[in-house]
Amino acid sequence: MTITAQDELLDRKFDICFSHADQNRDGVVDASDILTFASRVISAVEEPFASPKSVAMLQVCDDWWRALVAGLDTNGDGRIDPEEYRVGMRRIVGSPEAFDAASRPVATAIWQLCDRDGDGDVTAEEFGKVQAAFGATPENARLAFQRLDLDGDGSLSVNELMIAFRDFYTSTDPETAGNWLFGADFQHGRGA
């Protein structure tokens, strides 16, 4: 199989996503990593853990984990290694329906947590808090926000963020705005 520039681009993105999920950095993703990820996002946005948004985030991440392990854990060990993740994600991004089913609930829960006042828009400050949970520096969060604010109105709609989320995970276009979802590190070959 010939590796194309588009394959390499997607692999870099998948590696970044894997690193976000592998919270304890042991080289595999398991249920505790996903719970830690959810808790980290909730803490970053300063949402009370008993709130409906937090409970929804925890439930969605539990559901997400169950779907990931069922679909990507090919050796049945209850963990997902980087190769299983890449192979499984290639299959998922190849189908818009599969991608939406796998990712939309998690992305929606994250952006609803990010939208602190529930007005449907995310400010630069709100966005920065979620980006911190993903390990982005304040500068990277600022750069990402500027690139993703396509209409220049100073806020990101939850819909704009969902489009960026989809573009980051699925687009093979190196110039898509969604590639800025996690800031400049991705642009400079870092971020995994």
Does 181 reside within a domain? yes
Task: Note whether 78 and 66 are within 8 A (CB).
Answer: no
Q: Is 189 left (phi over 0), alpha (psi -120 to 50) or beta?
A: left
Does 192 reside within a domain? no
Does 136 reside within a domain? yes
Please tell me the distance from the alpha carbon of residue 12 to that of residue 192, in angstroms, as a whole number: 8
Domain of residue 109, residue span: 5-187
Q: The CATH number of the domain where 65 resides is what?
A: 1.10.238.10
Does 138 reside within a domain? yes
Does 30 reside within a domain? yes
Does 148 reside within a domain? yes
Mean pLDDT of all residues in 87-105: 87
Band (192; pLDDT cuts 50, 70, 90): very low
Higher-pLDDT residue of 97 and 50 is 50
Query: Domain total for the chain?
Result: 1
In this structure, what DSSP letter does residue 157 have?
E
Summarised one tens digit per residue, pLDDT across range 24-71 is 999 999 999 999 999 999 999 999 999 999 999 999 999 999 999 999
Q: What is the mean pLDDT of the chain?
A: 89
Does 64 reside within a domain? yes
Band (189; pLDDT cuts 50, 70, 90): low
User: Residue 53: its pLDDT value, please?
Assistant: 94
Summarised one tens digit per residue, pLDDT across range 104-126 is 898 889 888 988 888 888 999 99
Summarised one tens digit per residue, pLDDT across range 161-182 is 888 888 998 898 888 889 888 8
The CA–CA distances, whole Å, from 83 to 28, 87, 89, 131 equal 10, 6, 10, 25
Does 171 reside within a domain? yes
Please tell me the distance from the alpha carbon of residue 78 to that of residue 73, in angstroms, as a whole number: 7
User: Residue 190: its pLDDT value, please?
Assistant: 47
